[in-house]
Amino acid sequence: MKTIAEQIKWDFEANGDLVIRDKNGNLIYREYSNGCWTKREYDSKGREIYFETSKGVIYNNRPNPPSMKPDPTTNPEYKLPVVFFRGIKVIRYRIVRDRYSGFECQKWRLWFPFWVQMGVTNTHPSIEKAITYIENDRTVVLSS
């Protein structure tokens, strides 16, 4: 795929680096004479929410788009599994949004009544994958 400078036949010797700014003066695209480029996006307050380079480095802090699927992080009607022992809730699960991949599974136990992350790392890109992770945790069977 051609870069913007290649598409518009930008002359780096005469004009220098290709720099594109938005109406607020924020740098949204810069291309260097060696072909490397950076791309940025900003929110309404001027904070950088997306950064990408031609080398593959991506920083994405965009807000998650709204979903039409049941979302346990925002919809109280959506029920995640609960583990009972003699009629008492002993384990509860929840899914929270994180700032890395999207969704993190957490577990609450009666004998340790704090919400803690399940496993070592469990960030998931979708609700469905997070729910599957919880279901797998619930169905672990230890045998001798």
What is the phi/psi pair of residue 28, to 5°? -110, -20
Q: What is the reported pLDDT for 50?
A: 86
Residue 74 lies in a domain: no
- Per-residue pLDDT, 21: 93
Query: What distance, in Å, lies between the first and last C-alpha atoms of the chain?
Result: 57
Tens of pLDDT, residue by residue, the chain (144 residues) = 788 888 899 898 899 999 999 999 999 999 998 888 999 999 888 888 888 888 877 887 777 655 545 555 555 545 666 677 777 777 888 888 877 777 888 888 888 888 888 887 788 888 778 888 888 877 655 554
Q: Residue 87 domain-assigned? A: yes
Are residue 56 and residue 95 in the same domain, yes or no?
no
Please tell me the predicted confidence (pLDDT) of residue 72: 54
Indicate the number of domains in the chain.
2
Task: Look at residue 71 and tell me if it is in a domain.
Answer: no
Provide the strand spans (E) within the chain.
18-21, 27-31, 37-42, 48-53, 58-60, 82-85, 88-97, 103-109, 112-117, 123-124
What distance in Å separates the CA atoms of residue 74 and residue 72, rounded to the nearest whole number?
Answer: 6
- Based on the fold, state whether residues 86 and 134 are members of the same structural domain: yes
In a domain, 33, yes or no: yes
92, part of any domain:
yes
Domain assignment of residue 42, yes or no: yes
Residue 125 lies in a domain: yes
Q: What domain range includes position 105?
A: 82-138
* Predicted local distance difference test score (pLDDT) of residue 77: 47
In a domain, 50, yes or no: yes
User: Do 99 and 132 belong to one domain?
Assistant: yes
